[in-house]
Amino acid sequence: MLNNRAILTFYNLFLWVCFGMIAAIGYVAYRKNKWNIEGKLSYQWHYELTSDGRARIQANLHCCGYKAFTDFHERSNKCFPRTLLPGCKFKYQNFTIEALKITWIVAFSLIPLHLFVLISALLCSNHINRKFGKNLPPKIYRLDYQGIVAGTPTGSSLNLHRDGLQQRNV
């Protein structure tokens, strides 16, 4: 498992796919934020949204109708002919613009971190060969069994509770 280049290959390919998806999401959100949002949302409200969709938007944004109550409203306990609630146009546009702005900012700020992970994975994959993980670790990282025995309650001649930790002489 330690020296499996196939797993690293699939991992690196998956990272490239994720990079493309993150960049595409950021780009699409940025471009939609610059398009004619007012016209797109008006078309969506009048022709694409169902009555249930309009009712949900009105309930969440606390508004009634698109421009005013008379413009494609959905009746509810708060949306009736003599309501004082404003139309949803302004709130709906602000909500959409803010959501798109947050989306592209988050997507584009994730790209440097993702590139770092991608480059790190590529560099680490160069060190995987048939000898990886098979040699002994350097001497400095090897366990010293005398130190382990000295620290155990049964095999220790030292009482760590009474004497405390002391420097060993090797």
119-140 pLDDT, tens digit each = 888 877 766 656 655 666 666 6
Residue 67 reports pLDDT greater than 60: yes
CB 61 within 8 A of CB 41: no
Q: In the structure encoding, which two tokens stand for residue 67, read together?
A: 């421009």
Higher pLDDT among residues 167 and 47, named by residue: 47
CB 114 within 8 A of CB 19: yes
Contacts 24+ apart (CB under 8 A), 161-168: none
Percent of the chain scoring above 70 in pLDDT: 69
pLDDT at 133 (0 to 100): 56
pLDDT at 132 (0 to 100): 54
Q: In the structure encoding, which two tokens stand for residue 105, read together?
A: 């900012």
**Listed residue (18, 36, 51) closest to 117, CA to CA:** 18
Which residues neighbour 106 within 8 Å (Cβ) at sequence distance 6 or greater?
Answer: 26
- The DSSP-derived string for the chain is -TT-HHHHHHHHHHHHHHHHHHHHHHHHHHHHHHS-HHHHHHHIIIII--HHHHHHHHHHHT--SSSSTTSS----SS--TT--PPPSHHHHHHHHHHHHHHHHHHHHHHHHHHHHHHHHHHHHHTT-STTTTTSPPPGGGS--HHHHHHTSSSS-SS-HHHH---PPP-
Average pLDDT of the chain, as a whole number? 78
- Mean per-residue pLDDT for 38-42? 85
Q: Kindly indicate the confidence band of residue 151, based on its pLDDT and cuts at 50, 70 and 90.
A: low
Q: Kindly indicate the confidence band of residue 86, based on its pLDDT and cuts at 50, 70 and 90.
A: confident
